[in-house]
Amino acid sequence: MKRLDIIVEGPSEQEFISQSLAPYLEREGVILSYDVSPIVIHTKPNFRGGMTKYSQLKADILQSLSSSNSDLVVSMMIDFYRLPANVPRPDNYSELASDSEKIYAIERSIAEDINDNRFIPYIQLHEFESFLFANKTGFEYCYGTEDKRCKLLYDIISEYNNPEEINSTPDGAPSKRMLSIIPEYDKVIEGNLIILQNGIDSILRKCPRFRQWVEILCQHLED
């Protein structure tokens, strides 16, 4: 059986791969012969999630790649926001102006470190919660159209045509904005519910970096 392993940071991303990305790839006819496995990073013995250092990510990537299966594709989906400082970076990293340039540089450095053509690195700009702001449908579904707090969420959607550009300052990241407006927000439960209601097609339209990764995955899976 052909296999696509995607290393992720936590259960929310794991659910997203299973409930949104995998069905999309199947709908597009890309993974009819692939088994898609989202794998949460092992950070401690008997514990997963909450990556704090690059070695944790690398260990899981190499574990997946240890298979001799040539029909294996391994990727990853981790946040740029609060990325561990010891993740490989090029020497000129500090000279790079934009976050997009920095992310591409880190992805290339990780690819060089792993050194396996079955591996596709991907870092989400700025974080997974960007997808919450791809559409207002999910907010309406979870909190209702009468909830006055939704107006504040809609204002963020209006401000950023590309939700991936919602900035990475400590108080301005998408997750922090959600919690400042909806203090009871639960990433695992509500996050994926909101994203499911928004729909992956909406996310692909609004989030160009994510769309590019999905297109690259499709190309590799179709080869």
The per-residue pLDDT for 35 is 87
Q: State CA 64 to chain mean position distance.
A: 18
For the stretch 23-45, pLDDT in tens is 999 988 876 677 899 999 988 76
Q: Where are the domains of the chain?
A: 2-126+203-222, 129-186+193-198
Note whether 56 and 37 are within 8 A (CB): no
The reported pTM is: 0.92
Which residue has tokens 């702001």? 133
Q: Report the half-sphere exposure of 200 (CA within 13 A, side-chain side).
A: 17
Q: Distance between CA 60 and CA 39 in Å, rounded?
A: 8
Per-residue pLDDT of the chain (223 residues; tens, 9 = 90+): 789 999 999 999 999 999 999 999 998 887 667 789 999 998 876 666 678 899 999 999 999 999 887 789 999 999 998 899 999 999 999 999 999 999 999 999 999 999 999 999 999 998 999 999 999 999 999 998 888 899 999 999 999 999 999 985 667 889 999 999 999 998 888 998 999 999 999 999 999 999 999 999 988 887 6
Which class does domain 2-126+203-222 fall in?
alpha beta
The per-residue pLDDT for 39 is 94
The per-residue pLDDT for 46 is 66
Q: Distance between CA 31 and CA 107 in Å, rounded?
A: 24
In this structure, which amino acid lies at residue 90?
P
Nearest Cα residue to 212 out of 138, 137, 121: 121
The per-residue pLDDT for 168 is 57
The per-residue pLDDT for 110 is 98
